[in-house]
Amino acid sequence: MRLRFPMKSAVLAFAIFLVFIPLFSVGIRMIPGRLTAVSATVGNGFDLGSFVEAPEYRNGKECVSQSLNRENFVSSCDASLVHVAMTLDSEYLRGSIAAVHSMLRHASCPENVFFHLIAAEFDPASPRVLSQLVRSTFPSLNFKVYIFREDTVINLISSSIRQALENPLNYARNYLGDILDPCVDRVIYLDSDIIVVDDITKLWNTSLTGSRIIGAPEYCHANFTKYFTSGFWSDPALPGFFSGRKPCYFNTGVMVMDLVRWREGNYREKLETWMQIQKKKRIYDLGSLPPFLLVFAGNVEAIDHRWNQHGLGGDNVRGSCRSLHKGPVSLLHWSGKGKPWVRLDEKRPCPLDHLWEPYDLYEHKIERAKDQSLFGFSSLSELTEDSSFF
């Protein structure tokens, strides 16, 4: 008993010592998940950072019947799966990883989700390295990486009000009908700055009624005028394209798409036509959204607003904090200028950025080193009860 106090202080001193030798603490860290194999600094000194392996998400009992039919190999053509398409690039990688993680965590049958990931041919990290990183972060994920050739779209892109909107990969959604395997006849397209906090199967189960090609939450009270320039509205012919439909705003970051109808109707070409018009006469200021509004607004299957609580990135120019729209939440979307991982790293997060944080798998070297010492301390305290340690 007399030894207790001095021993505690010895342990404390040792723990403090540990804080300053992070290399040693790595050996005894006990946080769940391990460092992934890929944490490469790739060409041009581009550092992707490293990610911890996600926990294993398994199907519940109610899913068994479906997975019993399958061999170990899961096909990208399997129509019994939920198909999700997202882009994968070095800039938004942390967002894409968090988005995938959130879907797995909340899906009732996570093994029944298939991810179609689209990487740009000339990404500084290369599609192959990005693909390896996804594999090591999610060892049993069903996914396939497709390569997007930027030159398909680069000559069609006009400058927009925000640099990020000009990234060619931002236009990959226009080409899903061509990029994805022809056997994929329906897909949910999602931006990389989202998290899903509900079962993605519910969104997948949305039916597209009539001859509708896409579904998305739509906003009929938004002032539609501001998405196009006065040059558009004063043109003798262009506004006529909206006649006969009630155009409502919708965000293209969350869409359920019927790829069969999409391909049959050549919707990629319809979008490209508007991009060509934009090159000749500036008819809008935003990036990939306005062509979608021109082609689809008014003919969109309205999905519950809970599936796109958008705008959380804040204003397109100033990036101020936003709050949630009224009503329930199934998907949070940081569209706009600010991204939660950037604001969290800069220690000036918006209140809702903390909802994104639990899905982040990025390995913070300095902060984790501190956690590890704390773990070191607690395990050492236990050891003091067994005096053999000293």
Ligand X SMILES: *[C@@H]1O[C@H](CO)[C@@H](O)[C@H](O)[C@H]1NC(C)=O
- Two structure tokens written together for 16: 């403090």
Chain centroid to CA 75: 22
CB of 133 to ligand X, least distance (A): 30
CB of 360 to ligand X, least distance (A): 26
CB of 321 to ligand X, least distance (A): 24
Shorter beta-carbon distance to ligand X: residue 245 or 348? 245
CB of 226 to ligand X, least distance (A): 4
Note the residues at the interface with ligand X (CB under 6 A).
199, 201-202, 205, 223, 225-226
Cα separation values, 325 from 106, 309, 313, 316, 332, Å: 21, 6, 13, 18, 10
Shorter beta-carbon distance to ligand X: residue 201 or 384? 201
Shorter beta-carbon distance to ligand X: residue 40 or 63? 63
Cα separation values, 376 from 173, 311, 390, Å: 47, 41, 15
Shorter beta-carbon distance to ligand X: residue 186 or 202? 202
The whole-angstrom separation of Cα 316 and Cα 249 is 16
- Two structure tokens written together for 100: 């995938």
Cβ–Cβ < 8 Å for 305, 217: yes
CB of 62 to ligand X, least distance (A): 8
Cβ–Cβ < 8 Å for 33, 24: no
Shorter beta-carbon distance to ligand X: residue 78 or 150? 78
CB of 202 to ligand X, least distance (A): 5
Shorter beta-carbon distance to ligand X: residue 24 or 233? 233
Cα separation values, 30 from 236, 371, 372, 373, Å: 68, 10, 7, 10
